[in-house]
Structure 1
Amino acid sequence: MDPKATEIAHDLPPFLRAYTDGRVERFFGTDVVPPSVDSETGVSTKDVAIAPERGVSARIFKPNTINPDQKLPLLIYYHGGALCLGSPYCTTYHNYVTSLVDEANIIAVSVDYRLAPEHPVPVPYEDSWAATQWVVSHSHGQGPEAWLNDHSDFKRVFLAGDSAGANIAHNMAIRAGVEGLGVVKLSGICLVHPYFGRREADCDSRGTGDSLVDKKPGVDNKWLFVCPNTSGINDPIINPAADQNLRKLGCSKVLICVAEKDGLRKRGWFYYEVLGKSGWGGALEIVETEGEDHVFYLFKPGCEKAVALMKRLASFMNQD
């Protein structure tokens, strides 16, 4: 075997390693929790195939505290993982969305998009848009899934995600504003510890995410890994300031959550400032968790600050 074929091409410790021969080893998010009724919360889950020919699917979550004719807010969730890790079916995201559904008393659809580098950008975004449109196809009560037909309030639809998933949520809201979602109008989006690119000037000395620091001028190495054909730091997917459609963001309110020790903290604040100056007319709010790092709540879900953050997200989706 050619030793060069087994050289490491990209390393994202301790989560992923990619080799020059095309092999990818993932050390996070590969486990699968079967759909079931959660013993602690009573939240029920089921899996659906959205576009089997292209491998797009989702997990639907329904709380147990629901009447037969009750309509609940509907959340479409896009998981994080740098566009190359994770799924709705892994323990981390299954448990997180289950807890959020229980706390907020909502219906949720957690999207399983195809992952880079095998499926580089824009594939994860196109898959996410296909899933979003599939959800919207239930807005007249005649879609293929009864849980969405019977229990979803399509006048209260939200998009949310963490890290790269928050970036997807933002881009889906932009596309909704430009192309529309039929009769559905998004109520809001929740961007938790969002990823909007990374430049050396944006490195936060309080952050611990050294693997995110630039390896090439203009744009961080992680983005080049998932989007090798990027135009650079002015790619509108990761730089909202470069997006001419930013003011068309298709929702009425936005909640941004950042963490004090997160290496992406500055980019979250950057998004807040740029959106606020864009001419978009919605309500904009940002909250910062002190003393915590990137997506801390996924790995310390029972800590006081994680509980507070979840209650804030639940409140956002239940406010008039």
Structure 2
Amino acid sequence: MNLISLHLTQLKPYQQYYTSKVKKELMAALSFTHNHQSSDNRRGGSHNHRHGPIVEEIEGLIKVFNDGCVERPPIVPTVSATVHPSAKVTAFDIKLSNDTWARVYIPDAAAFSPSVTLPLLVYFRGGGFCVGSAAWSCYHDFLTDLAVKARCVIVSVNYRLAPEHRLPAAYDDGINVVSWLMKQGSNGGYSWVNKCDLSNVFLAGDSAGANVAYQVALKITNTSNLKGVILIHPFFGGEARTFSEKQQHSKSSALTLSASDTYWRLALPRGVSRDHPWCNPPISSSARLPTTMVFMAEFDILKDRNMEMCKMMRSHGKRVEGIIHGGVGHAFHILDKSSVSRDRIHDMMCRLRNFIHP
């Protein structure tokens, strides 16, 4: 059975609810899913010719060779937008440009009820700006669950990766996606956008994706519809080490100091230090930021830096809610399946729902 058949099998119980226009959009999205999944796999594959020595490497995640070739081993499986009917979510992929696509999650409560609209959450996944995909299974599972529990439509953005596309490429992609979504609402574009309450928009992300969400929030021009920013273990840095960065790395945390430094060398513009404002952003009272929720983890090397950021934002009059989850590390919500992590994920989901629906 091919990919489109699998999607249609999943949707069959609900087909009576879809208009012909939505069916047409879904068919186009499903065709795109098949094409971009194949493309992602090719980019992560091995090469058959010499590239010279490895100049940068994070074991198991990325190799950069002297000739500029980049290899990304498929350490995390990618999955299609298929979800089980019991998940109570409709998911599909959309192509936004030649460089950018997104995975959309619509809770059934909105998908099959013409009068229901839900807040829109634009999500940027992590990966140090250098690895990852909106099709990674860990993100697909987390966001499928979040869409239902937080009662929101989620657009998970697949932005361009460094070092092929150094910053500000990811920021530009994020700004373009938000602008595209707003235009769809005003010009009667894709019908699924009608399920989004575009006066009630949130930007969110984890790790490097939280950095993207923060920068996009600062840069978008129309902030009246932006109601909140959610930063999960935000990936920031600096030349001076914090106390938590100097501590022995916890095995329960996904990010090491060495990996962090490598990501920044690959992502920042060539020749700049980690005190560049995209890595170590200054906080100013003039920055236009809505209420911000920052999640931190006890064993994350970024904990102290994140705590300091919350303190600085408050000192400049910004509304910030900071939450520290004990007993877990960086990106536990997508990578850690322990019972401790499950309890913390449940707490995170509840807080996110209350933040989106105050």
Q: TM-score, normalised by structure 2?
A: 0.77
Could you say which residue in structure 1 is the equivalent of 2:142?
Answer: 96
Which of 304, 325, 339 is 1:266 aligned to? Answer: 304
Shift of 1:210: 9.6
Pairing of 1:122-141 with structure 2 (within 5 A): 122-140=168-186
Structure 2 vs 1, CA of residues 143 and 21 (structure 1 numbering), >3 Å: closer, same or farther?
Answer: farther
Aligned to 2:219, the other structure's residue is in SS state: helix
1:285 aligned onto 2:321: yes
Runs of at least 4 residues off by over 6 Å: none
Which of 235, 238, 247 is 1:205 aligned to? Answer: 247
Shift of 1:237: 1.4
Distance 1:211 1:43 in 2: 31
Shift of 1:92: 1.4
CA contact (8 A) 1:204 1:265 kept: no
Report the count of equivalent residues.
301
Could you say which residue in structure 2 is the equivalent of 1:159?
Answer: 203
Could you say which residue in structure 1 is the equivalent of 2:349?
Answer: 310
Aligned to 2:109, the other structure's residue is in SS state: coil
Could you say which residue in structure 1 is the equivalent of 2:272?
Answer: 231
CA contact (8 A) 2:125 2:157 kept: yes
CA contact (8 A) 1:212 1:221 kept: no
Uncovered stretches (5+) of structure 1, i.e. residues with no partner: none
Distance 1:65 1:230 in 2: 50
Uncovered stretches (5+) of structure 2, i.e. residues with no partner: 1-48
The structure number with the bigger radius of gyration is 2
CA contact (8 A) 1:198 1:220 kept: no
Shift of 1:79: 0.6
Larger fraction in strand: 1
Q: TM-score, normalised by structure 1?
A: 0.86
1:193 aligned onto 2:233: yes
Aligned to 1:248, the other structure's residue is in SS state: coil
CA contact (8 A) 1:198 1:264 kept: no
Larger fraction in helix: 2
Amino acid at match of 1:97: L
Could you say which residue in structure 1 is the equivalent of 2:129?
Answer: 83
CA contact (8 A) 1:198 1:212 kept: no
Aligned to 1:11, the other structure's residue is in SS state: strand
Aligned to 1:305, the other structure's residue is in SS state: helix
CA contact (8 A) 2:58 2:262 kept: no
CA contact (8 A) 1:50 1:57 kept: yes
State the identity %: 29
CA contact (8 A) 2:64 2:70 kept: yes
